[in-house]
């Protein structure tokens, strides 16, 4: 899921700042025992999640630097580096994890606020995504912060996600799934706009409900409670989501 030119980085930054502050409030409340407890992501503790978000912020600060200076800096050298950084940092004390998180996210927010307007369309090297404009850094970090805040299991749920974020991500997620041939056919209908969003071949049931509930279900962050199927039946299978 990516953010296109429909929302400028400058317009997304205030939303990201709010999301960052909410995440930090959850992070600083965690004890050493709690950061070592399992997160909602299989195989990851809360320490893994916090470290992942911090390193994700650093990686986006890196591509902003590349776009601004012309330096040959990739988001990550490779997937192995990304995984190593997460494992290396996951076992730290709660206070150190929270401080790292605030520093990394604060560094990105400062770099994004100071980024030259003319440099937002400069292509940079994204992990697994080739050369793409650096403008996607702000929206993609917003996604990382909101979704992984939920993964901490501290009470931040899809219904707490910002409405703009939910609307955008639901539309792009449906579009992405529509291009896959391994997805059950269905039509998504959000209560808020009643737009028909076909998925797969679009020949399956209509799945309707609040946009946040739909997105939470599609991303594996909610079990689909509160969604309605027509004709009635079990919810279709959806593929695993990766940030």
Q: What is the pLDDT of residues 91-113, one digit of tens each?
A: 999 999 999 999 999 999 999 99
What is the per-residue pLDDT across 133-143, written as a single tens digit (0 to 9) for each? 999 999 999 99
Whether 3 shows a pLDDT value over 70: the answer reads no
Same-domain pairing of 45 and 128: yes
The CATH number linked to 201 is 3.30.1050.20
In a domain, 1, yes or no: no
**CB contact at 8 A, 20 and 145:** yes
Same-domain pairing of 48 and 67: yes
Domain of residue 20 covers 9-156
Structure tokens belonging to residue 46: 């809360």
Structure tokens belonging to residue 101: 């998180």
Same-domain pairing of 178 and 60: no
**CB contact at 8 A, 201 and 224:** no
Same-domain pairing of 40 and 151: yes
> In whole angstroms, what is the distance from residue 206 CA to residue 235 CA?
10
Total domains in the fold of the chain: 2
Same-domain pairing of 67 and 141: yes
Q: Per-residue confidence at 184, pLDDT binned at 50, 70, 90?
A: confident
Q: Which of 132, 156, 180 is the last residue of a domain?
A: 156
């Amino acid at each position: 899921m990516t953010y296109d030119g429909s929302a400028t980085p400058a317009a997304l930054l205030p939303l990201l700042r709010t999301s960052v502050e909410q995440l930090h409030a959850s992070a600083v409340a965690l004890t050493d025992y709690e950061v070592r407890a399992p997160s909602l992501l299989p195989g990851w503790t809360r320490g893994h999640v916090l470290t992942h978000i911090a390193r994700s912020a650093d990686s986006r600060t890196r591509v902003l630097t590349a776009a601004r200076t012309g330096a040959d800096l990739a988001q990550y050298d490779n997937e192995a580096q990304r995984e190593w950084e997460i494992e290396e940092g996951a076992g730290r004390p709660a206070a150190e994890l929270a401080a790292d998180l605030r520093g990394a996210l604060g560094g990105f927010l400062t770099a994004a606020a100071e980024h030259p307007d003319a440099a937002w369309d400069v292509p940079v090297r994204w992990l697994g995504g080739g050369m793409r404009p650096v403008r996607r850094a702000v929206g993609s970090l917003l996604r990382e912060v909101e979704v992984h805040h939920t993964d901490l299991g501290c009470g931040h749920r899809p219904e707490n996600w910002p409405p703009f974020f939910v609307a955008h991500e639901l539309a792009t997620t449906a579009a992405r799934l529509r291009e896959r041939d391994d997805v059950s056919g269905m039509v998504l209908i959000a209560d808020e706009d009643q737009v028909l969003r076909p998925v797969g071949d679009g020949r399956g049931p209509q799945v309707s409900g609040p946009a946040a509930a739909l997105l939470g279900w599609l991303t594996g962050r909610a079990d689909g409670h509160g969604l309605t199927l027509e004709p009635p039946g079990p919810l279709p299978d959806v593929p695993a989501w990766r940030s």
